[in-house]
Structure 1
Amino acid sequence: MYETIQKADKGLAVIERGLVITLTGAIAAIMMLQVVMRYFFSAPIFWAEEISVQMLVFATLFGLSLLVHHNQLVTIDFLPNALRPRARHALAAALGLVMLALFVFMSWLGWEWISRPEVRIELGATTQLPRWYNYAVLPLAVAIMSWHQFAAILRDLRAFAGGAK
């Protein structure tokens, strides 16, 4: 079971990495095309800025999720570094549980928010597309962060139980 969870965690991270790379490339391509269309043909793409901002938010949220997966969030680590490995893993698991609870709560709040009728009827300014699908990326990304955090807690608990020295 442990190996399956860790394998799924790594697979999800690979998908996220590809998504972030694709989104970043798409933003660059859209904005370069916008410059060419605006200044060389005097025919700007009316939706370019709105879509690029949405893609930037998507890339940022999934990039943040990747940071959770790789355990690269900014931390104050003088206490864990002062501890022995077994105690370090116990502390990491305990703090991971707090983060997991926070991520699950944030994801739940996000799903509650986008389920509201007033949010469901909002439309984009230039594209006239529903905005709820943009907003849905926040709770989705935080739910994925929850999964990554859960997998990290299992790794720390396994290291703790294994008697890391």
Structure 2
Amino acid sequence: MFTLLNWFDDRLAQVEKILLIILTFALVTLLIAQVFLRYVLNSPLFWAEEVAVQVFVAISFFGVSYLIYQKQLVVIDFITLILPTSLRLVIECVFQIISLLTLLVMLVLTFQWITEPMVQNELSPTTQLPRWYNYSVLMFALGAMSFHQLKHCFKSLSGLFRGGKS
């Protein structure tokens, strides 16, 4: 089961990486086009700033998810590094579980918020698209973060039960 979980986690990370590359390219292209149209042709895209912000937010959330996959988030671990290995593994497992539970709570709350009728009817000022399209990026990113964190939890727990040999 752990092999299957790792395989799905790796595929999800590949999709995130490709998505991040595409979104970054789209953001750069949009901003270059906006600068060219605004300052050279004196005809700016009225919707470019709003779309650029939405793309940047998507890059940020999926970027954090990819960082969770790679275990490259900033951590302050000087205290845990001086602890014995067995205690360090227990603390790591506890923090992994707390992180997973926090992400799952945020995912549920985000879903509840997005499905509220008031949010469903809200329109974007310039593009006139429903705002819940933009907000759903948060829900998908939190789902990906939760999945990556679940894999890390299983890995930490298996390392704990194997006596530090993960």
* TM above 0.5: yes
CA contact (8 A) 1:31 1:52 kept: yes
Partner of 1:105: 105
Partner of 1:3: 3
- Provide TM-score, normalisation by structure 2: 0.94
Task: Report the residue type matching 1:100 in the other structure.
Answer: L
Partner Cα distance (1:86, 1:16) in 2: 34
* Structure 1 gap ranges (5+): none
Could you tell me how far 1:118 is from its partner in structure 2? 0.6
* Bigger mean CA offset, 106-115 vs 133-142: 133-142
Deviations 1:119-147 (A, max 9, x none): 01111111101110101111221121111
Equivalent pairs, count: 165
* Bigger mean CA offset, 143-152 vs 38-47: 38-47
* Structure 2 gap ranges (5+): none
Partner Cα distance (2:7, 2:99) in 1: 21
Deviations 1:143-165 (A, max 9, x none): 21111111001111122222226
Could you tell me how far 1:86 is from its partner in structure 2? 3.7
Deviations 1:12-45 (A, max 9, x none): 1111111112111110100101111112212211
Superposed CA RMSD = 1.3
Partner of 1:13: 13
CA contact (8 A) 1:87 1:160 kept: no
Partner Cα distance (2:86, 2:65) in 1: 26
Partner of 1:74: 74
Partner Cα distance (1:2, 1:134) in 2: 33
- Provide TM-score, normalisation by structure 1: 0.94
